[in-house]
């Protein structure tokens, strides 16, 4: 069975030495009392919960799965999940970064991100239950009426109730303009909602007393397409005036999806048969309101894959140090043993370092983005808030797509390190691979994220957001350009920055002539941008490590080695990607459909 050790040293490095989370947030009155000791204590305790409570349930939850009682429509989560959730609530973890006005602890979003990385490493399927709840909280916090906020937010904050988002229907996934669910207005101001939803994560379970569904549906006078979608809050149990639970609302789980992975999470087909709901936000403006939750979920999915990358790496590295197989090409390294441990072999090291680099780069990007969200929400400086919001918008599709693509590669590499044993369930590696695959699909496939990045976030504003991030890179390059020790990191970073600028201009001109050119290049383009962002953070991490390595702490030597590996072995992928992006759409679109 695999194990998990929280990467506390690297988390502290990113928070304090790389990003200076405390110093950055202290300017905000909301976080004026923040200090490093508090953050360190929180992440240490979070890591203990993840490794001691959740990790032991990961393999057993995967093997057991969820169970639906078709006579009652009730779903039971795997053994131990409910008890673990009770401990999670008792520890106050759902409230960590929530608004104190609703019972939250008011800690930075950054802390919540760190918590969820460790939870996902330990048990992604379990973590999806509270993870989606936080998105529902954010949506209602931003768009709910005062009455809705008073009714739902305290219970979502405490974790007594959980939340979902009900978007997808059998005939439409990302193209929500096609959805058919209907909402009929009632005399009391509520609505009766009828329709069918699929792929609803955590749609039904026995972890919490109530489940608050956020449902997209159409009003009778709704215009066609995405401009005719409204958002409704639909509780599993109706909430009475005194806050107690009343009658069962007719929103039921009709079936559980049989999936490749995340078996411990109840992915449900939900049937609404005149379920009572209440409008959230303005009529026909539901998609904009739901985007609060969708964007939170996209960031959350990236964190799921970051967690899986880390735990897969840990177990593969431990196995490679222990497994004896063949001799090193350069001569025996363990002559007293029958064979050398496989970690002496260059390609095994390449696979391990790929996973390690993608974990460390993803961690820096994820915590940086969470810090930007904190600035967007709490900085007293309007310009800082605006710039932070722009950068979050730019980085969100990169986090979702680049980190999840990397996790698919990394978990597969880590399975490969185990050889045939990796393909066997008892070692746990095949579960990490299976669980990671969904992350490239849901909350908008990675192709959708790529189109969002290139089409909307970059070309949509003539590159304004990208130029802002480019200025961040240019300033760093300028500051470090004369440091000889930094040249191995600065030169390729600066070179890739120039190439991204030229590629963006070229694709913009081609896309103006033929929109298919954007579609043909988008996935390659996002991966190039992902590498640009990772290169920037690895260069910054290398700078800190160079400054600190004289103290003899092996952590900094390892950080430098990982950065060098990234620049020498992973970043060169961008050359082929740029060439592919420039090759255009002709070869993709030329073949007659009948020949496929």
Predicted pLDDT of residue 222: 93
On whether the CB atoms of residues 264 and 119 are closer than 8 A, the answer is no
CA distance 163 to 154: 13
- What burial class does residue 370 get, using C-beta atoms within 10 Å of its C-beta: 0-12 exposed, 13-18 middle, 19+ buried? buried
Burial 504-535 (b: 16+ CB within 10 A, else e): beebbebbeeeeebbbbbbbbbbbbbbbbbbb
Average pLDDT on 273-280 reads 98
CA distance 471 to 372: 16
Longest C-alpha distance within the chain, in Å?
84
Q: Indicate whether 287 pLDDT > 90.
A: no
Average pLDDT on 277-302 reads 89
Predicted pLDDT of residue 173: 75
Of 34-48, 68-82, 287-301, 335-349, least confident by mean pLDDT is 287-301
Residue-wise pLDDT for 316-350, tens only, equals: 999 999 999 999 999 999 999 999 999 999 999 99
Catalytic residues: 443
Predicted pLDDT of residue 377: 94
On whether the CB atoms of residues 50 and 119 are closer than 8 A, the answer is yes
pTM: 0.97
Residue-wise pLDDT for 96-115, tens only, equals: 999 999 999 999 999 999 99
């Amino acid at each position: 069975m695999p194990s998990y050790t929280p990467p506390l040293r690297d988390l502290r490095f990113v928070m304090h030495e790389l990003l200076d989370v405390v110093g950055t947030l202290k300017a905000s009155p909301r976080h004026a009392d923040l200090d490093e000791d508090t953050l360190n204590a929180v992440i240490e305790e979070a890591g203990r919960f993840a490794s001691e409570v959740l990790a032991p349930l990961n393999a057993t939850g995967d093997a057991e799965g969820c169970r639906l009682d078709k006579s009652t429509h009730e779903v039971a989560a795997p053994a131990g999940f409910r008890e673990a959730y009770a401990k999670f609530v008792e520890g106050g973890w759902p409230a960590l970064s929530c608004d104190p006005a609703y019972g939250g602890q008011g800690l930075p979003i950054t802390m919540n991100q760190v918590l969820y990385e460790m939870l996902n490493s330990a048990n992604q399927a379990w973590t999806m239950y509270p993870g989606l709840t936080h998105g529902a909280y954010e949506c209602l916090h931003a768009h709910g009426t005062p009455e809705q906020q008073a009714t739902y937010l305290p219970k979502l904050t405490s974790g007594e109730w959980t939340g979902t988002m009900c978007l997808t229907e059998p005939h439409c996934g990302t193209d929500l303009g096609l959805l058919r669910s209907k909402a009929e207005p009632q005399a009391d101001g509520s609505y009766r909602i009828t329709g069918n939803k699929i792929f609803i994560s955590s749609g039904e379970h026995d972890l919490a007393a109530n489940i608050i569904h956020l449902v997209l549906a159409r009003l009778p006078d709704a215009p066609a397409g995405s401009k005719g979608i409204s958002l409704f809050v639909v509780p599993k149990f109706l909430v009475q005036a005194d806050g107690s639970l009343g009658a069962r609302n007719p929103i039921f789980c009709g079936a559980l999806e049989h999936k490749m992975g995340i078996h411990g999470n109840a992915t449900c087909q939900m049937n609404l048969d005149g379920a009572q709901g209440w409008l959230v936000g303005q009529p026909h403006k539901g998609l904009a309101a739901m985007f609060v939750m969708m964007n939170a979920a996209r960031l959350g999915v990236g964190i799921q894959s970051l967690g899986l990358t880390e735990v897969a790496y840990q177990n593969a590295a431990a196995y490679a140090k222990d497994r004896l197989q063949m001799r090193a090409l350069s001569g025996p390294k363990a002559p007293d043993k029958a064979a050398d441990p496989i970690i002496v072999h260059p390609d095994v090291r390449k696979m391990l370092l790929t996973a390690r680099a993608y974990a460390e780069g993803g961690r820096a990007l994820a915590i940086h983005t969470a810090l930007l969200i904190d600035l967007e929400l709490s900085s007293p400086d309007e310009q800082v808030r605006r710039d932070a919001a722009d950068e979050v918008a730019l980085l969100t599709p990169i986090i979702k797509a680049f980190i999840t693509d990397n996790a698919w590669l990394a978990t597969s590499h880590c399975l490969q390190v185990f050889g045939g044993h990796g393909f066997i369930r008892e070692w746990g590696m095949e579960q990490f691979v299976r669980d990671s695959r969904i992350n490239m699909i849901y909350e908008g496939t990675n192709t959708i994220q790529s189109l969002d990045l290139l089409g909307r976030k970059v070309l949509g504003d003539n590159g304004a957001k990208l130029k802002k991030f480019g200025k961040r890179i240019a300033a760093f390059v300028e500051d470090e350009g004369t440091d000889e020790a930094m040249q191995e990191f600065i030169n390729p970073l600066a070179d890739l920055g120039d190439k991204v600028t030229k590629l963006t201009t070229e694709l913009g001109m081609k896309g103006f002539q033929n929109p298919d050119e954007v579609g043909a290049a988008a996935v390659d383009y996002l991966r190039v941008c992902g590498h640009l962002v990772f290169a920037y953070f690895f260069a910054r991490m290398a700078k800190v490590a160079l400054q600190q390595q004289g103290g003899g702490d092996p952590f900094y030597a390892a950080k430098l080695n990982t950065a060098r590996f990234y620049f020498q072995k992973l970043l060169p992928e961008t050359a082929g990607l740029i060439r592919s992006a420039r090759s255009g759409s002709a070869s993709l679109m030329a073949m007659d459909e009948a020949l496929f």
